Amino acid sequence: MNRNQWIMIIIGLLILSSLSKATETYAGKTLFPRELKLVYFHDFEPLSWKSENGEMKGIYIDFMNETLKKRLKIEISHEGYPWARAQKMVQMGRADGFVTFPSQERKKYTRVSREVLTYGEHRIYTAIDSPMIPQLQQANSLGELREFQFVDYIGNGWAKETFKGMNVIWVPTMDRVFEVLAGRKKLIHIGLTPVIRYLIKQGGHADKVCELPQPLDRVPIHLCIGVQSPFTKIIPEFDRVFKEMKKDGTYQNIFERYQ
């Protein structure tokens, strides 16, 4: 083997060594060759939304900043899109991850945290003067609602799976969901209570849309990292610091900011 070949081998080993070290952890600081790109539904207050100046805000963003950026020292970015587009970006490898319910479809292209970030409780929402309210009050499960017509937003993976084969009107945004509910008295929406309550309060919909008292189910919300992302390896550390955040009171403090 001549001198030039030896030089090329040494250079190759140095490059491999530097790439390997880029993902090692030193003194609690995780180093990666680029920032972790998280994407969210841009119109999902108080969980995630894009402010007037284009900055992403919400409970999910605060969770990620506290755990990934502050405690694990990972550089991250937050970007908001229509939800269907955000999910496609992770699926295609153009973004690293999102925070959501890990549906069977999403599990095909992501790795999911063990820690549950929060639970989403689903309840029935309809027009405040809907003639169906007495009948809806008797329902205690999603299976009892198959005969009704639903309205939901495009990109809601949970709704897409749950309402498969059922009568659903799909609209672009949650604002449009409220408009359709108020205008058509025989439609219902099954929504996550923290989101719908917040939007009803902020949007002044309390005189048009009502929440029925009985919960239908609870769904777990997790951090999901795309299988094509180099950041899948951070999930065990994320689980560890998320547990710590729950114990030290930071978790509850984040929720209280949005009440």
Using pLDDT thresholds of 50, 70 and 90, give the confidence band for residue 194: confident
Q: Can you give the residue range of the structural domain that contains 140?
A: 120-218
Same domain for 223 and 213: no
User: So what's the pLDDT on residue 199?
Assistant: 85
Q: Indicate whether 195 and 232 sit together in one domain.
A: no
How many independent structural domains does the chain possess? 2
Residues 136 and 224 both lie in one domain: no
Domain assignment present for residue 138? The answer is yes
pLDDT of 201 reads 85
For residue 91, the model assigns a pLDDT of: 97
Mean pLDDT of 66-81: 96
For the segment 88-132, what is each residue's pLDDT rounded down to a tens digit? 999 999 999 999 999 999 999 999 999 999 998 899 999 999 999
- Domain assignment of residue 137, yes or no: yes
For the ranges 39-43, 72-76, 111-115, 140-144, the lowest mean pLDDT is seen at 140-144
- Which segment of 6-15, 115-124, 205-214 scores lowest on mean pLDDT? 6-15
- Shared domain for 108 and 66, answered yes or no, is yes
111 and 229 fall within a common domain: yes
Cα–Cα distances in angstroms (integers) from residue 166 to residues 89, 142, 146, 218, 226, in the given order? 28, 11, 7, 20, 30
**Is residue 2 situated within a structural domain?**
no
Whether 67 and 131 share a structural domain: no
pTM, 2 dp: 0.72
Pinpoint the alpha helices (H) of 41-128: 59-64, 83-91, 104-107
| pLDDT interval class at 16 (50, 70, 90) | very low
Is 20 within the bounds of a domain?
no
CATH code at 204? 3.40.190.10
Q: Report the candidate in 93, 121, 125, 126 with the shortest Cα–Cα distance to residue 109.
A: 93
Do 228 and 180 sit in the same domain of this protein? no
Kindly state whether residues 114 and 70 are assigned to the same domain.
Answer: yes
Residues 224 and 207 in one domain: no
Tell whether 71 is covered by a domain: yes
Tell me the average pLDDT across 206-219. Answer: 91
CA separation for the pair 153, 158 (Å, rounded): 11
Do 224 and 110 fall into the same domain? yes
Q: Looking at the predicted structure, is the pLDDT value of residue 38 above 60? A: yes
Asked if the structure places residue 11 within a domain, the reply is no
Give a yes or no: residue 61 inside a domain: yes
> Residue 89: its pLDDT value, please?
98
**Is residue 14 in some structural domain?**
no
Which ranges constitute the DSSP H helices of the chain? Answer: 3-21, 59-64, 83-91, 104-107, 133-136, 157-162, 174-183, 193-203, 235-247, 250-256
* Choice between 14 and 238, residue whose per-residue pLDDT is larger: 238
Phi, psi of 232 (to 5 degrees): -60, -30
pLDDT band with cut points at 50, 70 and 90 for residue 174: confident
- Of 25-34, 45-54, 156-165, 197-206, the least confident: 25-34
Task: State whether 139 and 213 are in the same domain.
Answer: yes
Whether 156 and 201 share a structural domain: yes
